[in-house]
Structure 1
Amino acid sequence: MLFIDEGKQRAYYSRLDFKLWVGIIFLMVGLSGRLAAAVTTEPDPPNIVIIFADDLGYGDLGVYGHPTIRTPSLDRMAAKGIKFTQFYSGASVCTPSRAALLTGRLPVRSGMMSDKFRVLFPFSEKGLPAKEITIAEALKEKGYATAAIGKWHLGHEPSYLPTNHGFDTFYGIPYSNDMSLKRRGDPPVPLMRDKSIIEQPAKQQTLTRRYTRESIAFIQDQGNQPFFLYLAHTFPHVPLYASEEFRGKSSRGLYGDVIEEIDWSTGKILNELRELGIADNTLVFFTSDNGPWIVKKQEGGSAGLLRNGKGTTWEGGMREPAIAWWPGTIAPGQVSQTLATTMDLFSTSLALAGADHPKDRIIDGINLMPVLTGKQEEVRQVVYYYREKKLHAARKGPWKAHFITQSAYEGDRRVRHKIPQLYNLEKDPGERFNVAKKHPQVISDIKKIVEEHKKNLNRGKDQLSAVK
């Protein structure tokens, strides 16, 4: 017969209960710690795509009022995102505008503006200085994959190419597609991959399609790694080329064909982001480097109701169409009248990636996320309009003062105004009615802002004048 000591049995089970409860407590603490860690884990940094057209006018898209150019993809992008009506490039011609976008700085600060040459040419020796920090360099430090696809135009010598400015890869042309003048001794425009020429002359009628294919392949290759894609289209800069699928299809002629193919390209990229399930973690921004080349007549675009175009500091030269899209972050159907510039994309991109702003230089960009997310209506009050190394105009709020006016080309007469011309751009976006005599205090206020701005300008050494 088995006798059991009930006291010892109770003590035994009490020890078991104690160990069990201790184990449960430790398990719960461990689970709660892991749960808390999961809750507080930082979200994945977003992907960033900037699509940059070349010489696209403010009035060239359906969503901006063009009556015969069909842009369904960009129209939908605006309907699902935010359309800007007062968005500016950093300059009115190619090279300085691109420098402004990628560095977040007025190009006069980096030396990418010159009184001798307005852009870089195949005979130019220099380009964007190595000391400048691009969006790609800043994002690469935060683990981003980076690609430049399309037109570069910030220096074609090896040390100035995109792969020396933070981009892992480059596929495109090194400068404008019209820079192959035999009388000047220019070589045929090349197509490059990284630092190697892979085709010369570039088959321009296929460029938009090939840029699109390369962009999609880059996006597909990244997996879970965040990426920055800078797609800078060659067109609608002249000479105009469209693929067989689009040539002759637009009521607007060849110019319309080109825009409709760029619209198709944008749609393909947005669809790819959706299909990969990463649209909700990707900011896409579409805009242009400067206004339309209106002297090209039917081969140039339209600034809509704005005055003049490319090469000038009138509104048509620097106010651009701009659309931002980010499902789940940007509320659909917004139209923003906030002042914003391409330089703001630098600050916005760094903020999204958690990258610090450079502390050793002036950054002219401002983070647009408060506007994109609807938390603020505006983040910027002032816009500066430079041509070559000279400040021609400045805008504060609705008011724009022109200190110097000139049409697109150097041979045209430059007029310095003793009393600056003044326009209220909210009432008169076409700059038709000079109201300087009625508002001397407004001019005085803008002059003070300009004087303060010039004190801290720190002009960079001219990079455009050095030639072979």
Structure 2
Amino acid sequence: MKTAFLFASAILWAAFGFGKTESQNVIIIFTDDQGYQDLGCYGSPNISTPRIDQMAKEGMLFTDFYVASSVCSPSRAALLTGKYPAKLGINSVFWPNQPGGLDPEELTIAEMLKEVGYATMAVGKWHLGDKKEYLPTNQGFDAYYGIPYSNDMSPALDMVYDPDCLYRDGFSLEKAKEIFAKADDRNPPELKNKVPLMRDDVCIEIPVDQRTITKRFTDEGMRFISESVEADRPFFLYLAHSMPHTPLHVSKDFEGKSERSLYGDVIEEIDYNTGRLLDHLKALGVERDTLVIYSSDNGPWLNRGDHGGSALPLSKGKKSHFEGGHRVPGVMRWPARIPAGRVCSEVATTIDLLPTLAVLNGISVDGADLDVDGKDISRLMFGVEGEKTPHRHFFYKRAAVRSGDWKYHQVPPNPKRPEKAAPKPALYNLKNDISESRNVINEYPEIAERLQKALMEHVKILENYD
């Protein structure tokens, strides 16, 4: 299916000239575990984010922007493919030294855009498999520079290490092998947080200096943009920062700068570097024609205390099916097309990005039999008067569903705790109760029944992929 789609896309490019420099450039900035409230434009009382706030003023701020999973690997897979994670067989986090990853047969945004002439690069956290066949360079990206999984994990022993690899802090492969040989854990405590920095499919530094990584990721993205502009090619940059996932690290320039302690320092450094990227676009003369999207892979890791973010006024955070787990910041700026100073309260999601970018590039997804769950949200992005969400339902994995202002929770028993009774079904009106604090299922049983039916139909569909 993917091969046929790419062949058709290549024909469109050849026949109609898609992919020339007048096409929009695309940058997706994706942070890790950043909460809904952790930006000034979303109400943070103690984190200063002037550059992203300005980005929102110059573009569109989405109040109801969602990811398809409240943990990182499934969320990232969904963004890149436009599918609910269960359809990809990705329901949990990938670990180093274990098999599996995003199936290379799945069509990604990078593959789609590459076929119509884009230069493509992934920078930052990948977390969709660290074996060569799953890495970005086998998923449509021309190049990769980053950490292949979460920044709190361990080295992958079967990784290819560059002959000139920089070994830091006394690290050696021999010592690592000795530790793994004695350990029962794929993430031994002695090697925790000692993650590699990769270029393409080889390790060039281990453990990476995480104090400098936010700037280095941005530097690499800026270099790629410069090269693309010089080559007169549109570009797609997927810039996935490895923080504010713990452990938190910050450069000396941002130590102690935020009122929100170290967590705030990290966000403020990301904000500053987002500004550097935007300034770079302006300096190169491509600012007007570049769509920049800023979001997070899921809600905050609340059990990290001061080292975790805030989803207020939403309920709960990472790993939950409540709003704080799935609803995230969504800021989009494209001076040529997106009107400034707009706020959109319609439901939009990261799975919408692939079909939307397809439409913007004249690519047909509907007839390609790709089983995409996302919808074209370009009219929402462009602020078309009266435009409504294209989603009749949005599903929070198998646990909940949103339709309009209503959200229904149908929580199955926990297979790890069979003795514990499952929570009772609940219904919330998110317009009146954004914090999901008042269950109104007894007042609106017919709405609950309708949404339960939709959720069960969705679950039945997903069973075909199990």
Q: TM-score range by the shorter chain?
A: 0.7 to 0.9
- CA displacement 1:170-228 (0-9 Å, x = unmatched): 00000000013975354531000000100010111111000010000000001220110
SS for the counterpart of 2:251 is coil
Q: 1:260 to 1:305 in 2, by over 3 A?
A: same
Q: 2:453 corresponds to which residue?
A: 448
Correspondence for 1:204 among 184, 201, 210: 210
Correspondence for 2:426 among 421, 436, 459: 421
Q: 1:369 to 1:168 in 2, by over 3 A?
A: same
CA contact 1:177–1:234 (8 Å) conserved in 2:
yes
Correspondence for 1:400 among 407, 414, 418: 407
CA contact 1:139–1:355 (8 Å) conserved in 2:
no
CA contact 2:125–2:150 (8 Å) conserved in 1:
yes
Structure with max Cα Rg: 1
Q: Does the alignment pair 1:365 with 2:365?
A: no
CA contact 2:96–2:186 (8 Å) conserved in 1:
no
Correspondence for 1:126 among 100, 113, 126: 100
Identity of aligned residues (%): 47
CA contact 2:401–2:408 (8 Å) conserved in 1:
yes
CA apart distance, 1:452: 3.4
Q: 1:246 corresponds to which residue?
A: 254
CA contact 1:404–1:415 (8 Å) conserved in 2:
no
CA contact 1:338–1:380 (8 Å) conserved in 2:
no
Q: 1:285 to 1:406 in 2, by over 3 A?
A: farther
Partner Cα distance (1:302, 1:318) in 2: 13
Q: 1:24 corresponds to which residue?
A: none
Partner Cα distance (1:415, 1:362) in 2: 35
* TM-score (norm: length of structure 2): 0.84
Paired residue type of 1:364: D
Q: 2:357 corresponds to which residue?
A: 349
Partner Cα distance (1:42, 1:123) in 2: 41
Paired residue type of 1:400: K
CA apart distance, 1:347: 1.2
Q: 1:127 to 1:151 in 2, by over 3 A?
A: same
- CA displacement 1:18-60 (0-9 Å, x = unmatched): xxxxxxxxxxxxxxxxxxxxxxx99822111000000000011
Q: 2:221 corresponds to which residue?
A: 215
Q: 1:43 to 1:162 in 2, by over 3 A?
A: closer
Q: 1:80 to 1:240 in 2, by over 3 A?
A: same
Partner Cα distance (2:429, 2:363) in 1: 37
Partner Cα distance (1:414, 1:313) in 2: 18
Partner Cα distance (2:217, 2:51) in 1: 17
Paired residue type of 2:146: G
Partner Cα distance (2:434, 2:413) in 1: 18
CA contact 1:371–1:379 (8 Å) conserved in 2:
no
- CA displacement 1:334-391 (0-9 Å, x = unmatched): 11101011101111122222223172331111111101112224322311001xxxx0
Partner Cα distance (1:169, 1:322) in 2: 26
CA apart distance, 1:155: 0.1
Correspondence for 1:88 among 56, 66, 89: 66
Q: 2:44 corresponds to which residue?
A: 66
Partner Cα distance (1:402, 1:448) in 2: 12
Correspondence for 2:128 among 151, 154, 157: 154
- CA displacement 1:418-467 (0-9 Å, x = unmatched): 6x200001110100000000001101211232243345436446xxxxxx
Partner Cα distance (1:436, 1:414) in 2: 22
Partner Cα distance (1:162, 1:355) in 2: 22
Correspondence for 1:380 among 380, 391, 405: 391
Q: 2:441 corresponds to which residue?
A: 436
SS for the counterpart of 2:101 is coil
CA contact 1:338–1:379 (8 Å) conserved in 2:
no
Runs of 4+ in 1 over 6 A off after TM superposition: 409-414
CA contact 1:240–1:254 (8 Å) conserved in 2:
yes
SS for the counterpart of 1:416 is coil
Would you say how many aligned residue pairs link Structure 1 and Structure 2?
411
Paired residue type of 1:436: I
CA apart distance, 1:124: 1.7
Correspondence for 1:108 among 86, 96, 99: 86
CA apart distance, 1:130: 1.5
CA contact 2:21–2:233 (8 Å) conserved in 1:
no
